[in-house]
Amino acid sequence: MAENKTQPTAIKPAEYVEAVEHPVRREDARTLLALMERITGWKPQMWGPAIIGFGTYHYKYESGREGDFMRTGFSPRKANMVVYIMPGYSDYSAHLARLGKHKLGKSCLYINKLADVDMAVLEEIIRAGLDDMAKKYPL
């Protein structure tokens, strides 16, 4: 049985955020840390060396792979801010059309800086992702 390579660590999320070199990315990470904690009601947890996650769920695929992972989170990378919405953005086109400047991956929303997006819409997207997760993986 293969497990998720990205596991919780003992790194303190607030300390990680304060160590982000780029000043705009650091300030945006502070904002997202507070926003996601408020939205989720969960304390942040580092996943691997660079992802700040909120909540957990257990998954099990037909292949036999299973593990635990965060319900939502973000990572202040050098190139951009990555917001993780599980299980992905496939049904969020109406929200994304109103968000502002961004790029997409399967479960990743790439944002250069928070000033490029509508924060109310970003909050809607995070909440919608959590609602989708609660349906697929009840708490």
pLDDT, tens digit, 9 for 90 and up, residues 42-51: 999 999 999 9
The answer as to whether 8 is a domain residue is no
What pLDDT does residue 66 have? 83
Q: Which CATH number characterizes residue 59's domain?
A: 3.90.1150.200
The answer as to whether 7 is a domain residue is no
Which of the 8 DSSP states describes residue 3? -
Amino acid letter, 69: F
The answer as to whether 114 is a domain residue is yes
Write out residues in the chain with pLDDT < 70, as ranges. Answer: 1-4, 88-90
Task: Enter the pTM of the model.
Answer: 0.91
The answer as to whether 85 is a domain residue is yes
Indicate the number of domains in the chain: 1
Sheet of strand 44-47, all strands in order from the earlier edge strand to the far edge:
44-47, 51-60, 66-76, 81-85, 108-111, 103-104
Cβ(26)–Cβ(32) below 8 Å: no
d(CA 40, CA 35): 9
The answer as to whether 4 is a domain residue is no
Domain that holds residue 61: 13-136
The answer as to whether 6 is a domain residue is no
Looking at the chain, how many residues does it have? 139
Cβ(27)–Cβ(68) below 8 Å: no
With vertex at residue 77, the alpha carbon angle to CA 90 and CA 89, rounded to the nearest 5 degrees, is 5
